[in-house]
Chains A and B, each alone.
Chain A
Amino acid sequence: MAVLKDATAIVGIGQTPFAKQLPESERALACRAILAALDDAGIAPDEVDALASYTMEETDEVEVAKALGLGDLTFFSKVGYGGGGSCATVAHLAAAIATGQATVGVAWRSRKRGSGPRPWKNTTVQLPTPAQWTRPYGLLRPADEIAMLARRHMHEYGTTRDHLFNVALACRNRANQNPAAIMYERPLTREMYMNSRWISEPLCLFDNCLETDGALACVVVSAERARDCRRTPVYVHSAAQGLPAQHHGMVNYWNDDPLTGPAWTAARHLWKHADLTPDDIDVAQIYDAFTALIPLSLEGYGFCARGEGGAFTEGGALETGGRLPLNTSGGGLSEAYVHGFNLINEGVRQLRGTSTAQVPDAATCLVTAGEGVPTSALLLRN
């Protein structure tokens, strides 16, 4: 891991507009995001020799490479488990570049979740085999699966709906500052939150992420190469994946301790190989498909003790100027839900000093992927 520490850097980021519905295909959106990221880096497409994305990505590397005129690829990888894969795409590229398997890597995610189909609206869908233990009982959607853990966390630790509101509000307040966010200029109040419709009690509408069309990409090169790029390099200081012993994706109910999920495993490795501790983190981009994932992640990544994740959100801790400014572009809850890739790009903007909700002198950022599934995380620094 010493090999990986600060050995590579993100030197380009790119994205398409975000909307409930975009006219172009996922493939076209992916191409636009990748070209934007390469342009940001000042690197020509034919220099790209590594690609990484998610297993759920419909746009495969053959098509992307062909469409964009990329060079000969010597490394390509796809990371599983949906939103758990986001940070690992960068981690895989960093490992490949640090070990000489490639020189210029692009990670991307393109998704039409805003205008695409909803599995729970279609009775003919063939459900996956592990679902035999949950789906017949009407535990149908990710919101239902995470609500089960949220309810238990509330029961064991006194976490409240106000704590979850604090998370939703912090994300919305930052989105209100970000013209690219779907929730730009759309404020949220406590009254709106408390009076909104239920999705899966104890989770209401505003506890759930957006449904978004859009694509994002970033470019990873060696630290040496990064010094010659157009932009200030953002170094990959530490990276980790996490799949705990006896884990079961989304429904971690059969683990000995379901409230200590993959974040705990990823965090141990992440901090072990870093020169930083949670106290050194200036700003965090924590995967927020659901507000209830934030208390679990705050505990898992060591920002507070177990059971204190709800209380941590009190007193404006997650707001600008607070103890841990969170999801400063609006996150999955209020900027765009593109399987967490927007959190990576926002981490880069913070360390470049170009965020629309800039944390003064931000020098370190934690970015995490989906908690509740096999996950991944990055420590970025400038």
Chain B
Amino acid sequence: MLTPVVDDDGAPFWEYAARGELRIQACADCAELRFPPRPCCPHCRSFATEWRRVSGRGRIWSYVRPHPPLLPDYAEQAPYHVVLVELTDAPRIRLVGNLVSGPGARLDSVPAERIRIGARVQVVFTPTGLPQWLLERP
């Protein structure tokens, strides 16, 4: 499986995720949240940043089901769900992830008929610190 190729701006996200925390970059001056992480606030142009903990609750904004040809590790689990989750605490922040039946479960572990746009989801983390999403009402 592919692991994140982390850059300087994104590194804190992954360090927090490895500890089981979902944190989003915010401007330390004007408090605007931003994603993906970057060095300067597009709202007030401040370089002061902080990482704000969010509840990890959200709703599915959209989703796709990839089928092969895919990289072999992914093809073996296809078709699976890739979801775009809009965070409840921060409606303009949307995270790409997988909808699964439990932390570290296979990417195809949720039946296709269970997924819909607008469904409430909750973040969990794999043992390697990758955020994943569970349906609040499976």
Contacts and interface: CB of A to CB of B under 8 A. Distances in A.
- What secondary structure prevails in chain B residues at the interface with A? loop
A39 B130 CA distance: 57
A121 B74 CA distance: 11
A119 B102 CA distance: 30
Interface string A111-126: 0000000101111001
Interface string B1-34: 1111111001000100000000000000000000
A201 B72 contact: no
A130 B70 contact: no
**Interface range on chain A (Cβ under 8 Å from partner):** 35 or more
Contact of A254 (B10, B36, B64, B117): B36
A141 B71 CA distance: 10
Nearest to B3: A136
A155 interface: yes
Interface string A152-165: 10010000000000
A136 B94 contact: no
- Specify which of A133, A136, A138, A148 lies most central, judged by the most chain B CB atoms within 10 Å of its CB: A138
Contacts of B64: 139, 144, 147-148, 151, 200-202
A256 B90 CA distance: 11
11 contacts: A118-B69, A120-B71, A127-B2, A133-B36, A137-B96, A139-B82, A141-B66, A141-B70, A148-B63, A148-B82, A254-B35
A231 interface: no
A126 B79 contact: no
Interface in A243-277: 246, 248, 251, 253-254, 256, 258
B98 interface: yes
B45 interface: no
A246 B42 CA distance: 8
Contacts of A99: none
Given A148-B82, A201-B65, 6 more contacts: A123-B71, A137-B96, A138-B66, A139-B66, A253-B94, A253-B96
B65 A200 contact: yes
B73 A123 contact: yes
A132 to B, nearest CB: 4
Given A127-B2, A136-B3, A136-B130, A149 B69 contact: no
Nearest to A246: B42
A192 interface: no
Nearest to A139: B82
